[in-house]
């Protein structure tokens, strides 16, 4: 049987084994200084024959902040990418098909770098989710808070349309992470940004599929990082 899996991430150089195939697409959209990227692949084969095809629900997967990707000779991020595909993901084509290359997840980040407009954090926020049936507009957002103080907020970014076909995999990365304080562009219009300080910060990611004007499905994931 097959299940539709959608994977949204922003980077880490480890390989996760999944059965995937299909074509990749890319879009960019962002209401602030971050840069979202989207890619689409095909069917994921679940490992047990007795698992039925799902008919409903979005299911949240992992959420983390990982190492940012270096650029390849063409100026593209070397990861995230799917393996074994020389056409759409040449940087990872030498690895056997069935995996994903991501950036290493990191819990402790430099406060000095993250609050520096030149360097930024140097990382990417990523998350995964499974979409088993929903069709419609894909809308995502990222918010980072320390207590009640917001230090990063993308606002709602529209990233195209989810077709909801069985086995579709969506991959999203955001590599524009910096906590630059009030009036800096680290928060979308209408959201007040505060000053980042040493200590824990909570990342909350929201994924919404807008099926119609009145029907939508949303899920959230979270992770805690430390600024030091």
**CA 161 vs CA 28, 120, 199, 209, 219: distances in Å:** 13, 30, 37, 8, 17
Whether residue 178 has pLDDT greater than 90: yes
What tokens does 154 get?
């993308």
Average pLDDT of the chain, as a whole number: 77
**How many domains, in total, are found in the chain?**
1
Residues of the domain holding 45: 2-227
DSSP string covering 57-95: -EEEEEEEEEEPPPB-TTSSBS-SEETT-TTT-GGGTTS
Q: If you average pLDDT over residues 82-105, what whole number do you get?
A: 87
Q: What is the Cα–Cα distance from 206 to 215, expressed in whole angstroms? A: 16
pLDDT for 134-143, tens place per residue?
Answer: 678 888 999 9
Q: If you average pLDDT over residues 37-57, what whole number do you get?
A: 52
Give the helix ranges, DSSP H, for the chain.
111-114
pLDDT for 146-158, tens place per residue?
Answer: 999 999 999 998 8
Q: Regarding predicted confidence, which is higher, 122 or 69?
A: 122
């Amino acid at each position: 049987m097959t299940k539709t899996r959608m994977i949204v991430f922003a980077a880490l150089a480890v390989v996760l084994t999944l059965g995937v195939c299909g074509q990749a697409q890319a879009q960019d959209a962002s209401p602030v200084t971050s840069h979202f990227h989207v890619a689409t692949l095909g069917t994921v084969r679940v490992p047990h024959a007795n698992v039925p095809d799902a008919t409903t629900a979005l299911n949240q997967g992992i959420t983390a902040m990982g190492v940012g990707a270096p650029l390849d000779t063409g100026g593209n991020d070397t990861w995230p990418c799917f393996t074994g595909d020389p056409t759409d993901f040449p940087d990872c084509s030498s690895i056997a098909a069935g995996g994903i290359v991501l950036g290493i997840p990191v819990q402790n980040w430099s406060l000095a770098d993250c609050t520096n407009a030149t360097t930024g954090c140097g990382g990417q926020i990523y998350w995964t989710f499974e979409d088993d049936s929903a069709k419609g507009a894909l809308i995502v957002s990222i918010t980072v808070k320390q207590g009640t103080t917001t230090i990063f907020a993308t606002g709602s970014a529209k990233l195209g349309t989810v077709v909801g076909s069985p086995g579709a995999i969506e991959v999203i990365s955001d590599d524009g992470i910096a906590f630059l304080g009030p009036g800096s562009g680290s928060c979308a219009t209408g959201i007040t940004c505060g000053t980042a300080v040493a200590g824990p910060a909570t990342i909350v990611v929201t994924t919404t599929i807008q099926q119609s004007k009145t029907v939508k499905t949303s899920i959230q994931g979270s992770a805690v990082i430390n600024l030091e």
